[in-house]
Amino acid sequence: MKIQCGSAELAKACMNVQRTVSNKSTIPALEGILLDAKDGMVSLTGYDLEVGSIAKVEADISSEGKIVLNAKNLCDILRMIPGDTVSIDCDERNISKIKSEETEYSLIGTSADDYPDLPTVNKYTSITLELGTLKDMIKKTIFSVSTSERNPVHTGVKFEISGGKIVLVAVDGARLAIRRENVDFMYDSEDAAEKMLEFVVPAKTLNEILKLGGEDDTQIVIYIGDRHIVFKYKEYEIISRLLEGKFIDYKAAIPMTHSTRIIVPTRSLIECIERTSLIITDKSSPVRCVIENGIMKFSSVTAIGTASDKLAADIEGNNLEIGFNNRFVLDALKVCDCDEIKIEMGSSNQPIIITPLEGDSFFFLILPIRI
């Protein structure tokens, strides 16, 4: 293989792909990046047997071929190399010479034959939507994904797609996050538009989507297969397995009634809880909230001291006293992109519900802590 291309473009592609390279694997080739040069493009592939990524860069190819090079070494070299262009020349012994201006490196590579094939999605349904919309939906749900492997399907975000609406759902046993959006999808067929699509994508895969740069109105295409999914954005692809298992019936966990409703400025509420949380050093210490006479009174008591604060709010219904995990509530509030939010509660033993003042674009449920 012998190629020449822009060093900045190749370095950027390498950095993107490196995130899906295995840090430690029983298959040594997976600790490298597969370079495949053909048809005027060099593709870079990273894969850890769960998530894979492919980035493509235009190149002047003198000799087509494939090689696996250590990901860290290659990325470090491309990041530091001085010139605008870089050449990579690999011989039959898998020794690669990387050169730019007067700087030259020699790396011992691995045969591409040792690199496992990425999953292929042959039978699929595809939809197209704006990158910004998808990223916003992920941000508003991924913080509620479970980190426990007891039920692996809950370590991902559930997608429900039908009738021009997309719903993302994440749950971890103590909280639930739902993000809904009406979207003018571009389906690959009329038949696909009539289907109800349900699948669960690992959180690790969705974090890769959040790292994609570019304009929010740029289109991203999603190819949904039976066991795998592909996200294609410009010359970059993310390939992932889908999680299998029975996802919780989250709708059954949503209370149908409430006794107290609060409308409060989002930023003021965040700051008030943050101030009250400064002395909290463990997960088991709750923030106590007393709601009465148009005031939300917050307090916390730990081994190192006490803290209290209060905030005026528009309150309807019963007075209430409730305890909650400060981090869980703050995680939800910090992704609310509206000036005011609505909070609903039934009692001190029932969930805290956070929604926008109008519509149902997001829904956050947090279980209380006994006080």
246: domain CATH number? Answer: 3.10.150.10
Is the Cβ–Cβ distance between 124 and 133 less than 8 Å?
A: no
Does one domain contain both 166 and 144? yes
Tell me, yes or no, whether 220 lies in a domain. yes
CA-CA distance, 367 to 132, in Å (whole number)?
30
The answer to whether the CB of 166 falls within 8 A of the CB of 183 is: yes
Query: How far is the C-alpha of 190 from the C-alpha of 57, rounded, in Å?
Result: 34
Residue 242 near residue 199 (C-beta atoms within 8 A): yes
Out of 188, 215, 250, a domain closes at 250
Note whether 157 and 97 are same-domain residues.
Answer: no
d(CA 44, CA 25): 19
Is this structure's pTM higher than 0.75?
Answer: yes
Q: Which of 306, 325, 172 is nearest to 250 (CA)?
A: 172
Is the same domain home to 130 and 239?
yes
User: Does residue 275 lie in a domain region?
Assistant: yes
Q: Is 267 in the same domain as 325?
A: yes
10 vs 44: CA distance, rounded Å? 9
Specify if 120 maps to a domain.
no
Q: What is the pLDDT of residue 196?
A: 82
Question: Is position 119 within any domain?
Answer: no
Report residues of the chain scoring pLDDT below 70. Answer: 187-194
Instruction: Give the 3-state DSSP-derived string for the chain, with helices as H, strands as E and coil as C.
Output: CEEEEEHHHHHHHHHHHHCCCCCCCCCHHHHEEEEEEECCEEEEEEECCCEEEEEEEECEEEECEEEEEEHHHHHHHHHHCCCCEEEEEECCCCEEEEEECCEEEEEECECHHHCCCCCCCCCCEEEEEEHHHHHHHHHCCHHHCCCCCCCHHHHEEEEEEECCEEEEEEECCCEEEEEEEECCCEECCHHHHCCCEEEEEEHHHHHHHHCCCCCCCCEEEEEECCCEEEEEECCEEEEEECCCCCCCCHHHHCCCCCCEEEEEEHHHHHHHHHHHCCCCCCCCCCEEEEEECCEEEEEEEECCEEEEEEEECEEEECCEEEEECHHHHHHHHCCCCCCEEEEEECCCCCCEEEEECCCCCEEEEECCECC
Residues 147 and 228 in one domain: yes
Task: Tell me whether residue 89 is in a domain.
Answer: yes
In a domain, 294, yes or no: yes
Q: Is residue 274 part of a domain?
A: yes
CB 179 within 8 A of CB 170: no
- What is the Cβ-side half-sphere exposure of residue 135, based on CA atoms within 13 angstroms? 17
Of the residues 202, 218, 250, the one at which a domain ends:
250
Same domain, 186 and 276: no
| Residue 220: burial class (beta carbons within 10 Å; 0-12, 13-18, 19+) | buried
Say whether both 51 and 156 belong to one domain: no
Residues 48 and 143 in one domain: no
- In this prediction, residue 189 carries a pLDDT of 66
Residue 371 lies in a domain: no
Do 136 and 225 belong together in one domain?
A: yes
Domain end call among 197, 231, 250: 250
**Same domain (yes/no): 220, 260:** no
Which value, in Å, is the radius of gyration of the alpha carbons in the chain? 25
Residue span of the structural domain in which 327 resides: 255-366
Q: Cβ contacts of residue 312 below 8 Å, gap of 6+? A: 294, 295, 296
Identify which of 225, 224, 214, 220 has the alpha carbon closest to the alpha carbon of residue 237.
220
**Minimal CA–CA distance to 321: which of 284, 360, 295?**
295
Do 130 and 31 share a structural domain?
no
How many distinct structural domains can be found in the chain? Answer: 3
Q: Does residue 246 sit in the same domain as residue 261?
A: no
